[in-house]
Chains A and B, each alone.
Chain A
Amino acid sequence: MIRKTVSSAEDAIEGLSDGMTAMFGGFGLCGIPENAIAAIRKKGIRNLVCISNNAGVDGFGLGLLLETKQIRKMISSYVGENDEFERQMLSGELEVELIPQGTLAERCRAAGMGIPAFYTPAGYGTELGEGKEVRLFNGKPHLLEHAFDSDFAFVKAWKGDEAGNLIFKGTARNFNPMMAMAGRITVAEVEELLPAGALDPNEVHTPGIFVSRIFCGAHFEKRIEQRTVQTPSQS
């Protein structure tokens, strides 16, 4: 067994430096690597290019790194709910590349799978298609999209073991498995870190080969963005 454990978020982000590209798992605030984000903020690494479906909210998630202006560029599919983000984008301080969510996921997956590029119909006929190679398959136009190239990937899982195997919970899985495969160095933080043998191999979602470092997160706030409950008439 190859051990992947490190003792803290600080140790886990070792090697991340100014100007690097990093992926961050999560959809909204669900399944985000909270502890790595906190450590990156504390260390003050700057000019990051961040690949993440969303950009957090004011004061939480990647919003924490926007607040301290540690992000130079965001590559995302949806960036609402964040006033500081909008301010930096409109003032030109922050570069933003918006891409379709399925294309974002597939560019992560392709990177991990050793597929340099692929064709997808998403975005054809829109401004997203401008300047991209177009090819017809079965009479339908598709755009050529390229795999990402990322120095680091920061992911969050529910349970993990010393070998780096990961199990996700609910919809907190989202982009985490593809990003785990795609990072040149992948850092996984988990709520529960177990000894090898404690996870049933049948139930592992991400095999440890994709994970470079794993640690048990010291604190997970797991903030809910849109707490919604049944109204009496629905129950």
Chain B
Amino acid sequence: MLDKNGIARRIAQELRDGYYVNLGIGIPTLVANYVPESISVEFQSENGILGMGPFPVSGAEDADLINAGKQTITALPGASFFDSATSFGMIRGRHVHMTVLGAMEVSQNGDIANWKIPGKMVKGMGGAMDLVASAENIIVAMMHTNKAGESKLLKTCSLPLTGIGCVRKVVTEICVMEIKDGAFHLLERAPGVSVEEIAAKTEGALHIPDDVPEMLL
């Protein structure tokens, strides 16, 4: 089973040389720590930076330089700043190659719910609806089950949707799933996790091939 850093490390394997990538808040942010040395990618933050670097060293924080999670960041050589309309133009216009975001629920046809729990949490969707409506390569990073132990990979989402038919892959602490043809397709198991456990924790339609390799991290 993977921890959050393990999930991020596995997602980093999906990066390709030359990708511009948008990382959501939470586990997705950790992906930036595991970019393979052999490739070059640039991270976009939708509040207006391409070429986002690591957190600053203590004392070098700049109130005018933050990421979408409002954390202080740095800008790498080659970075650029832009306004919010331009930023979402990059996203809607499909100039960003890969989007990694968290979710509360994902359905077998690729619907995603991650912005609202009626009566409990109504903080807003931020940029998530724009991202999932337009990006072509959407990877969800999340835990496989919720705090009550219930599957988050469902036949249909029960929470208000953020977008429909958009999620391409899901990486959880126990597996990698691809979503196609209205089902979750099991691609890889996390180290030490059985196919049976994954099947038991997945409510949505699940396709299990004869051979399910363990992930290489």
Could you say which residues of chain A place their CB within 8 Å of the CB of B91?
A: 102
Q: Is the CB of B130 within 8 A of A226?
A: no
| B48 on interface, CB distance cutoff 8 Å | yes
CB distance from B195 to the nearest CB of A (A): 32
State in angstroms the CA–CA spacing of A174 and B75 once bound together: 16
Interface residue count on the B side (C-beta < 8 Å) = 53
Residues of B within 8 A of A (CB): 33, 45-49, 54-58, 60-73, 75, 81-85, 87-88, 91-92, 111, 122-130, 133-134, 160-165
Q: Is the CB of B82 within 8 A of A173?
A: yes
Q: Is the CB of A227 within 8 A of B72?
A: yes
Q: Is the CB of B64 within 8 A of A27?
A: no
State in angstroms the CA–CA spacing of A127 and B124 once bound together: 13
Chain A residue nearest to B132 in the complex (CB): A122
Q: Is the CB of B125 within 8 A of A77?
A: yes
Chain B residue nearest to A128 in the complex (CB): B129
Q: List 27 A-B contacts (CB under 8 A).
A: A27-B68, A76-B124, A78-B123, A79-B124, A100-B127, A100-B128, A100-B129, A102-B84, A102-B127, A105-B87, A124-B163, A125-B161, A126-B162, A126-B164, A170-B64, A170-B65, A170-B75, A171-B64, A171-B65, A172-B64, A225-B66, A226-B66, A227-B71, A229-B56, A229-B58, A229-B72, A230-B58
Given A100-B127, A126-B162, A175-B83, residue A223 in contact with residue B55 (CB < 8 A): no
State in angstroms the CA–CA spacing of A225 and B91 once bound together: 25
Q: Which of A91-113 contact B (CB under 8 A)?
A: 96, 98, 100-106, 108-109
Could you say which residues of chain B place their CB within 8 Å of the CB of A109?
A: 85
Could you say which residues of chain A place their CB within 8 Å of the CB of B69?
A: 226
| A53 on interface, CB distance cutoff 8 Å | yes
| A89 on interface, CB distance cutoff 8 Å | yes
Q: Is the CB of A121 within 8 A of B83?
A: no
CB distance from B48 to the nearest CB of A (A): 5
| A235 on interface, CB distance cutoff 8 Å | yes
Q: For B133, give its contact among A124, A170, A174 (CB under 8 Å).
A: A124
**Cβ contacts A194-210/B at 8 Å (1 or 0 each):** 00000000000100000
State in angstroms the CA–CA spacing of A169 and B125 once bound together: 26
CB distance from A102 to the nearest CB of B (A): 3
CB distance from B142 to the nearest CB of A (A): 19
Main secondary structure, interface of B, reads loop
Q: Is the CB of A121 within 8 A of B92?
A: yes
Q: For A174, give its contact among B63, B84, B123, B129 (CB under 8 Å).
A: B84
| A177 on interface, CB distance cutoff 8 Å | yes
| A80 on interface, CB distance cutoff 8 Å | yes
| A224 on interface, CB distance cutoff 8 Å | yes
Chain A residue nearest to B112 in the complex (CB): A126
CB distance from B128 to the nearest CB of A (A): 8
Given A173-B82, A177-B83, residue A228 in contact with residue B133 (CB < 8 A): no
State in angstroms the CA–CA spacing of A122 and B46 once bound together: 15
Q: For A173, give its contact among B81, B122, B129, B134 (CB under 8 Å).
A: B81
Q: Is the CB of A222 within 8 A of B66?
A: no
Q: Which of A54-101 contact B (CB under 8 A)?
A: 76-80, 89, 96, 98, 100-101
| A176 on interface, CB distance cutoff 8 Å | yes
8 additional contacts (CB under 8 A) given A98-B124, A98-B125: A27-B68, A30-B63, A100-B127, A122-B130, A122-B134, A170-B49, A226-B66, A230-B55
